[in-house]
Amino acid sequence: MNQIVFPYRLYLVTDEDLCLGRDFFWVVEEAIKGGVDIVQLREKSLPLEDFIKKAEKLKFICDQYRVPLIINDSVEVAKKVDAQGLHIGQEDTGIIEARSLLGANKPLGLSLESMEDLYKPHSEEAWYYGVSPIYATPTKMDTKTEWGLEGLAQLRKATEKPLVAIGRIKIENSSSIISYGADCLAVVSGICSAPSPAHAAETFRKKIEAGLNHQLW
């Protein structure tokens, strides 16, 4: 996978609790069928062995649809399952350390919580930036502040890297977030908790296309 190319528009970040008791793998597969084109497995509290098993099963599904699987935070899991990439936050493994452990050919996504993060050493090594959060959300409580649309637009002017927006992304605000400069939307509850994950993903894709047709530059 080329680090420069980022053709993805709808990014599912998994959360099994938000699947509302339904089979986790069914939810993800339905979301892919509906239009999710990149998946991140996020497991902050799962023991390593269980994390690996879950990642292996999920990668099998993703591979069937040729959808990249990104592992959140764990270099060890990403290497073990040969995931297509790794996503790290500002408080996780440093990007240079992650690169040395993961290898030169695996892309790394990096969360930006403020404009200052863009200018930290080696941030330009990232494949894409996770703009976190666009709006504050209860699924992620350890962030500093929210970007909002104006902050997103300011970041868009400051970098040519792909921007993946995350944080209270809803169908109702999807088009505007894209129009203000996001290349891709990362969705958690809006798909995982939807009555039909496939229908929700399909609807998000339509809103993304509408936003692309009304970008501000």
Q: Catalytic residue positions?
A: 42, 111, 140
Sole residue written with tokens 């994390």 = 51
Q: Which amino acid is at 99?
A: R
Identify the three-state secondary structure at position 122. coil
Identify the three-state secondary structure at position 120. coil
Neighbouring residues of 96: CB distance < 8 A, sequence distance ≥ 6: 122, 125
**Residues 77, 69: Cα–Cα separation, whole Å:** 11
Continuous H helices in 65-147:
75-80, 95-102, 115-118
Sole residue written with tokens 């239009």 = 35
Contact by Cβ (8 Å): 186, 165: yes
Contact by Cβ (8 Å): 177, 164: no
Q: Which amino acid is at 84?
A: Q
Give 52's strand partners: none
